[in-house]
Amino acid sequence: MTGASALWDEALAQGRLLLQRASPQAKAIFPPREMAPLSGEPLECFEASGLGTIYSLTWIQRRPPEPASNVVIVELAEGARMMGRVEGADEATLRIGMPVRVRIADGADGPLVVFDLVEAA
């Protein structure tokens, strides 16, 4: 027996970002839960497309020469939002609304969801 969070962790360790939903039409849910908010219905897990856009962003300033680092909220294509970091981004050009793609990186404490900018075609 495993709770929703541990199942999510297991999937991430296998390189998959899971979201949940109560029905194929319903808005996706993150972070993982044992039941759908409000309705209490059971939730199904599915793999995120990995696409999203920057909903908001902040740059935490450091004492030079250490560069500023960003923290973003990403709205995934399926509708759920999550906190994250856009890697390789430039403070002067990163903007709310820019498209990003999920990458599962090696974080300090195991696999970690990070985001890369989707370059305009």
Partner 1 sequence: MGDRFPRGKVSVAGLATYGVGEWPGYSNIELAANATRLALADAAIPLDQVDGVFICLPDDLFAGLSLAQYLGIHPRFTDNNRAGGASFMSHLVTAVMMLEAGYLDCAVIAYGSNQRSSGGKLSTPARPDRWDTPYAPMYPLSYYALVAARHMHQYGTTREHLAEVAVAARGWANTNPEAFAKGPLTIEDCLKARLISTPISVKDCCLVTDGAAAMVLTRTDRAKDGPQPLVPVLGAAAATWYNSVTQAEDITITAAAESGARALAMAGATPADIDVVQLYDAFTINTILFLEDLGFCAKGEGGAFVSGGRIGPGGALPVNTNGGGLSCCHPGMYGMFAMTEAIRQMRGQAANQIGGARLALAHGNGGTLSAQATVIFGNAETV
Q: Which residues contact 56 (CB under 8 A, 6 or more apart)?
A: 72, 73, 96
- The answer to whether 4 and 20 are in contact (CB under 8 A) is yes
Q: Which of 12, 77, 112, 117 binds partner 1 (CB under 8 A)?
A: 112
Q: Which of 10, 34, 39, 58 binds partner 1 (CB under 8 A)?
A: 58
Instruction: Give yes or no for residue 39 binding partner 1 (CB under 8 A).
Output: no
The rounded distance, in Å, linking the Cα atoms of 75 and 107 is 21
Give me the residues that bind partner 1 (CB under 8 A), please: 5, 30-31, 55-61, 68-69, 71, 73, 81-85, 91, 96-97, 107-109, 112
